[in-house]
Amino acid sequence: MNTLNKKLIVAFFSVLILGIIGLFTIDQATQSRINNLSIISEVPSFKLDNFDGIPFTEKKLDNKITVVSFIFTQCEGACPIMSTNMGLLQKRFSDSDILQFVSITTDPDYDSSNILKEFSDKYSTKNNWFFLRGDINDVVKLSEDGFFLSASLLPVGHSTRLILIDKDRNIRKYYEGTVDANIVELQNDIVTLIKQD
Amino acid sequence: MKKQLFFQSAVVSTILSYLLIFVGGLVRVSGSGMGCPDWPRCFGRWIPPTNIDQIPSYIDTTSFNIVLAWIEYSNRSLGVLVGFSIIVLNIIAIYYFRKEMKLFLSSILSLILVAANGGLGAIVVSSILNPFLVSLHMVLALMLVSVLSYACIESYKLIHIEKFKDLEINRALSKSLIVFWILIIVEILLGTGIRTNLELVSIENPLLSKGELLNALDSYKYFHSFLGFTLLFLSTYIYSKLRTNKLYIARFLGIFILGMIIVQIFLGEMMIFFELPQLTRLFHTWGSSWLVGVVIILYNCISNEYAK
């Protein structure tokens, strides 16, 4: 065998090996995205009211992928950023009927239905975003026991995390609602969950 | 001996740089670019964490994904290795070849390019993978392999001067190689533009299918195909002119260029009509980067100062 043929064979196998490494890596990356969204726990039962007065319970989470946040309308720090980010996701996924958004106020004394409605008009562009209020004790319980997020010194002390819930009511992952990289991550994970169906 | 040392060092740097382009492409197609949200370290560590417990408490762990972290970090590590190999090349160049301007300047330029591209890597991460910056990162890598390929062929010519004497110079062929190289660069920029726009559209419309994404692109996507077939035509001409060349390397590279263009057109069409788009994308990008360096080597082979 002459040197050229030897070199060609080496080149061919190098490319073949790189191809296999590439295929393996791409597959691992895809798998890892699904594995990274492992089930954390199930959302417990709760009952709050949307700003239009219609009750919202855990049953409304069934067969929907839901992004949840805790906010209050007078909040000047994180909430506007979190809500803007949720509004951005709402727009980007506006063609999807499976995705919905939920924001729960940690200041139900001030945040009346009307005020939540005004807040909704500011950030939401579609009727798949629910702004919920209820008894403050129920909200604290839902945050701490349901979502494992601290809720002390309310209204200010609410968590700034966004929660991703799958269509079987399972909590899948948390995202810092004010960090752009986390929002990109959330967007990718929503796509992963939608495509899993 | 010294020339041999420089040549070998340049070849090692070039091969490592091409591997780096491959791994970089792998990062892009597997979506691992944010595998490490910080830079240069990965979740605050010089060796990426293998477990979430290893991440310092002050760092947000939301995006921690061990697989993506290691893919991204392999790109950075290989980048550092390329950096070291180019530093070695520069030491050789500064020590022995300060008067050999072609070797000296190409080494220095490759060092500047690799450093600049490393820095751009940091900006890419902090921009959360802005598609323009990601593409610029690849274009700088192409410039790097161009300069390194030049260093390879120029040092090879110094070692094997006798092979390059008595060559017939074909000016038309030399000119067509220049045109070919420029068109390859334009073609790559068009391809990069298509990818950049696909990513931008996909960020705003995350649920669009591949077909819908392609439809959302401007008509310049057709230029990419059109130019691809123009390059096929041109490479056939180059091949036919090189078939009887005295230089073995020139004949070989003539076949290589024609073959690579055919493979590239095939891969490009595959990406549109078939599945496995990620692996196809990876080799489509990587193959085009080979053409950039190979044409530079070929041009400097057949249009050299030792010829008649």
B36-49: pLDDT as tens digits: 988 899 988 898 98
Query: Structure tokens of A169?
Result: 């009511």
The pLDDT of residue A21 is above 90: yes
Least confident range from A13-22, A108-117, B176-185, B201-210: namely B201-210
Q: What is the pLDDT of residue B274?
A: 77
Q: What is the pLDDT of residue B165?
A: 82
pLDDT tens digits for range B144-170: 999 999 999 999 999 998 888 877 788
Q: Are A72 and A143 in contact (CB under 8 A)?
A: no
Cα–Cα distances (Å) from A102 to A64, A158, B214, in that order, read 11, 15, 33
The pLDDT of residue A136 is above 70: yes
**Peptide bond preceding B40 in cis form (omega within 30 of 0):** yes
Q: Are B227 and B187 in contact (CB under 8 A)?
A: yes
In sequence order, what are the residues at sequence separation of 6 or more whose Cβ sits closer than 8 angstroms to the Cβ of residue A33?
A188, A189, A192, B31, B65
Q: Concatenated DSSP letters for B99-166?
A: T-HHHHHHHHHHHHHHHHHHHHHHHHHHTT--HHHHHHHHHHHHHHHHHHHHHHHHHHHHHTHHHHTT
Do A144 and A103 belong together in one domain?
yes
Q: What is the pLDDT of residue B209?
A: 82
Cβ under 8 Å to B: A residues 108-127: none
- Number of Cβ within 10 Å of residue B131's Cβ equals 21
Instruction: Give the SS3 label for residue B274.
Output: coil
pLDDT tens digits for range A60-108: 999 999 999 999 999 888 999 999 999 999 999 998 899 999 999 999 9
Q: What is the pLDDT of residue B112?
A: 98
Do A80 and A9 belong together in one domain?
no
Chain B nearest C-alpha distance from A51 (Å): 29
Q: What is the pLDDT of residue B215?
A: 83
Among B120, B147, B119, B115, smallest CA distance to B134 is for: B120
pLDDT band (50, 70, 90) for residue B51: confident
Residue B202 CA to residue A94 CA, distance in Å, equals 14
Query: Structure tokens of A26?
Result: 């791409």
Higher pLDDT, A89 or A152: A89
pLDDT tens digits for range A174-190: 999 998 889 998 999 99
Chain A nearest C-alpha distance from B88 (Å): 25
Residue B211 CA to residue B224 CA, distance in Å, equals 17
Among A197, A22, A44, smallest CA distance to B27 is for: A22
**Model confidence, pTM:** 0.90
Residue A86 CA to residue B279 CA, distance in Å, equals 33
Do A66 and A16 belong together in one domain?
no
Q: What is the pLDDT of residue B307?
A: 59
DSSP code at position A78: H
Chain A nearest C-alpha distance from B191 (Å): 21
Do A68 and A109 belong together in one domain?
yes
Using a CB-CB cut-off of 8 Å, the residues of chain B touching A23 are: 279
Among chain B residues, CA nearest to A16 = B283
Q: What is the pLDDT of residue A100?
A: 96
Do A151 and A93 belong together in one domain?
yes
Do A9 and A101 belong together in one domain?
no
Q: Does A31 touch chain B (CB under 8 A)?
A: yes
Q: How many CA atoms lie within 13 A of A53 on its CB side?
A: 1
Residue B290 CA to residue B253 CA, distance in Å, equals 11
pLDDT band (50, 70, 90) for residue B102: very high
pLDDT tens digits for range B89-101: 999 999 999 999 9
Do A14 and A106 belong together in one domain?
no
List the single residue in B22, B34, B282 with the smallest CB-CB distance to A181: B34
Question: Which of A8, A32, A37 best tests the B interface by mutation, with the highest count of B CBs <10 A?
Answer: A32
pLDDT band (50, 70, 90) for residue B275: low
Q: Does A197 touch chain B (CB under 8 A)?
A: no
Element (H, E) at A66: strand A65-71
Q: Concatenated DSSP letters for A82-125?
A: HHHHHHHHHHHTTT-SSEEEEEEES-TTT--HHHHHHHHHHH--
Interface of B with A (CB under 8 A): 22, 26, 29-32, 34, 37, 60, 62-63, 65-68, 71, 128-129, 203-207, 252, 278-279, 282-283
Chain A nearest C-alpha distance from B96 (Å): 31
Query: Structure tokens of B200?
Result: 């931008």
Whichever domain contains A63, its CATH number is 3.40.30.10
Q: What is the pLDDT of residue B276?
A: 64
Among B54, B53, B29, smallest CA distance to B41 is for: B54
Do A1 and A58 belong together in one domain?
no
Q: How many domains does chain A have?
A: 2
Do A11 and A55 belong together in one domain?
no
Do A105 and A143 belong together in one domain?
yes
Residue A101 lies in domain: 41-196
Using a CB-CB cut-off of 8 Å, the residues of chain B touching A187 are: 203, 206
Residue A100 CA to residue A92 CA, distance in Å, equals 12
A161 has which bridge partners? A176
Q: Does A54 touch chain B (CB under 8 A)?
A: no
Using a CB-CB cut-off of 8 Å, the residues of chain A touching B206 are: 92-93, 187-188, 190-191
Q: Are B144 and B117 in contact (CB under 8 A)?
A: yes
The pLDDT of residue A1 is above 60: no
- Mutual orientation of helices B171-204 and B131-159 as an angle, nearest 10°? 160
Q: Is B129 left (phi over 0), alpha (psi -120 to 50) or beta?
A: left
pLDDT band (50, 70, 90) for residue B171: confident
Do A110 and A27 belong together in one domain?
no
DSSP code at position A58: G
Residue B187 CA to residue B185 CA, distance in Å, equals 5
Do A160 and A64 belong together in one domain?
yes
